[in-house]
Amino acid sequence: MSLPELVSFPLCPFVQRAVIVLREKQVPFTIRYIDLDNPPDWFLALSPLGKVPLLSVGDTVLFESAVIAEYLDETHPPALMPADPLARAQARAWIEFASNLLGRQYRMLVAKDQAGFDEEFAAAHRELAFVERAHADGPMFLGGDTLSLVDAGFAPFFMRFELMNRARPLALLDDYPKLRRWAAALADRDSVRRSVPEDFNDGFRRRFAGGWFGTAFADTAAMH
């Protein structure tokens, strides 16, 4: 049987979630990159929403990152979700919360002026206060040092925030010590480090150079 194939756009945070789970579980896979600005016909024929990721398993194609992550979790032990149904439902809710937070981060990056950026930044600050209160003791979100699908759901946000913070210092996590420890623990994890292409940082800066915040990326590049 052929290896599962992940169809990806190199900068997509939702694809990154699936790669983190695959890396964490040490599942062999192949990855096929496409240009979402000019998607090939074969991709549009497979993706009902025209979005990545897609995961091809034999003749079956899965879409939506949360669905892909749960399929991988159910078919490749050990489980990265709680066994208790109520706790599992809570974890799913936090994964959806992280999806909304990634959308807010994207709107920060493409904002045309500071006012637009500040509006999204303030909302993210308020939302992260909820995450800080919900974070359990330990480096990972649910407690202990075992990565869960919730951690995989939030890791792309923290990785992109770190790149933003290097370009223009942001105080987004200053009031949230649990989140700072969590972000650092995720950044040190091999499955997270290896979840993006080698040229991810440069590609990310180029992709978002056109927005108000992107001027900081241009300034950072000029310093090197």
Contact by Cβ (8 Å): 205, 167: yes
Share in percent of the chain as helix, strand, coil (round to 5): 55, 5, 35
- Which tokens in the block code for residue 60? 């079956």
Q: Which residues contact 161 (CB under 8 A, 6 or more apart)?
A: 105, 170, 172, 173, 183
Q: Kindly name the residue from 6, 11, 12, 186 that is annotated as catalytic.
A: 12
- Which CA distances in Å does 10 have to 93, 184, 196, 200, 202? 26, 23, 7, 7, 11
Phi/psi at 200 (5° precision): -60, -50
Active site residue 89: no
Q: Which residues are catalytic?
A: 12
